[in-house]
Amino acid sequence: MLDVIKKNEMKRFHKTIIFTKTPLKKYFLYPDKFQIYPANFEGMPYSKLQEHFPVILEYVIEEDEIIKAPIDEFGLEDLRTLTASTLTKQDEILNLLTLFTTHLFFRYYDLSGTWGMPILKDDAGEEANTWSSKWNMKMFHWPSLPEQLVIDNFTDIHLHYEPVDFLPFLEYYQNNPNYDYYNNQEITFPNNIFTGIEAYYKLSKSVKNIIDTAISHSTTAVEISQLKKTLSVISAFTAIETMVNYENRDYEAEKCEKCGQLQFKVSKKYRDYLLQYIGNNQNNKKKFNALYNLRSKIVHTGLKFKTENLWTDLPQEEKDLEFLSQMEVILLSKLSIINWLILNK
């Protein structure tokens, strides 16, 4: 997506388009960092069949966040600096929004093109039978877009939209959460998001790099959750294990008295981490042990979710169980990072 830059008192304000799979009908502002709100540009393409909903993202890049590209023989270092700095910042914000909410916030990464069938009319009827495939660029663009992306400060969006609805975080995550399965609803946020993002931006650079890795794995789990269920679960487990590894960074393995081999107690560290940052009770102990066993079966025996097959004759009860297991691991990956951020603030 095109991105336009303006400099204002050592800050660089950017405006771009991102996407969601559930409509955003109100705005969210994290002061001095970024804001999102529904896209309503002049001349913007629209289809009532669309499943990706355009959202405006405005954000700031500080001087110390600029990624300097090396000088090259083609004189493209300024363009590369702009690209690296803006896309890195966009991904940071998209990952944070995906982490704290039950929704996927994304941009188009693969711009290499694909064969596709352009939908020229929303209600084409029999005319659609005369259409042919075209080579498409995965890009949301129209001629007047670039000039509408120029800003030198945040838009006073509160004059045009209401703030997004905030729900108590326990209710948000546990009471029929919408993981983009219902696009006839609208995006809401948990009420712990401000505290969590504040804690994130207070991290030192070295710690932030580690947390960014965990958040990235958690985001990947959401991105591929409907297409690659088993890999989605592995990504969620990897997010948790990234946090477990950091939490136990000073751990020294003990030698077994019988065999002399080092004992790293991986499963215990995993369980103890979740008990600390999710909740310590007997039911959770059983749940975390069961989920760790699921992780081991996937990684060490090649277990694959049966519902990932194109066709399965599984009873509905087993289908539901696989779905719930996947969602549990994804939610645990989110909450274990969110609660770590807030409790270590």
Q: Which two tokens stand for residue 89?
A: 């910042």
| pLDDT surpassing 70 at residue 64 | yes
| pLDDT computed for residue 251 by the predictor | 60
| Residue 8: band (very low, low, confident or very high) from pLDDT cuts 50, 70, 90 | very low
| pLDDT computed for residue 142 by the predictor | 96
| pLDDT computed for residue 120 by the predictor | 85
For 111-166, the pLDDT digits (tens) are 889 999 989 888 888 998 999 999 999 999 999 999 999 999 999 999 999 999 99
| pLDDT computed for residue 262 by the predictor | 42
List phi, psi (to 5°) of 32.
Answer: 70, 5
For 87-125, the pLDDT digits (tens) are 999 999 999 999 999 999 999 998 889 999 989 888 888
β 262-263/28-30 pair status: unpaired
User: CA 182 to CA 178: how far, in whole Å?
Assistant: 6
Report the share of the chain in percent with pLDDT over 70: 92
Indicate the DSSP class of residue 340: H
Tokens 């477990």 sit on residue = 244
| pLDDT computed for residue 9 by the predictor | 44
| Residue 168: band (very low, low, confident or very high) from pLDDT cuts 50, 70, 90 | very high
Domain regions of the chain by residue span: 4-202, 229-343
User: CA 22 to CA 104: how far, in whole Å?
Assistant: 8
| pLDDT computed for residue 139 by the predictor | 92
| pLDDT computed for residue 110 by the predictor | 86
Burial of 69 (0-12, 13-18, 19+ CB in 10 A): middle
Indicate the DSSP class of residue 303: -
Residues in the chain, total: 345
| pLDDT surpassing 70 at residue 255 | no
Tokens 């209401």 sit on residue = 162
| Residue 71: band (very low, low, confident or very high) from pLDDT cuts 50, 70, 90 | confident
Of 153-157, 202-206, 225-229, 305-309, the range with the lowest mean pLDDT is 305-309
| pLDDT computed for residue 249 by the predictor | 86
Q: Which two tokens stand for residue 293?
A: 């066993």
* Three-class secondary structure of residue 166 per DSSP: strand
| pLDDT computed for residue 186 by the predictor | 95
| pLDDT surpassing 80 at residue 11 | no
User: CA 146 to CA 101: how far, in whole Å?
Assistant: 30
Sign, CA dihedral 197-179-86-231, equals positive
For 330-343, the pLDDT digits (tens) are 999 999 999 999 99
Q: Which residues contact 179 (CB under 8 A, 6 or more apart)?
A: 102, 103, 222, 225, 327, 330
DSSP string, 40-87: --TT----TT-SSEEEEEEEEEEGGG--PPPP-TTS-HHHHHHHHHHH
Question: Can you tell me the mean pLDDT for 204-229?
Answer: 96
DSSP string, 96-165: HHHHHSSS-EE-----S-EEE-----TT-GGGGGG---EEE------TTHHHHT--SS---GGGTSPBPP
Question: Can you tell me the mean pLDDT for 165-175?
Answer: 94
Query: What's the maximum distance between 2 C-alpha atoms anywhere in the chain?
Result: 77
Ramachandran quadrant class, 227 (left: phi over 0; alpha: psi -120 to 50; beta: rest): alpha
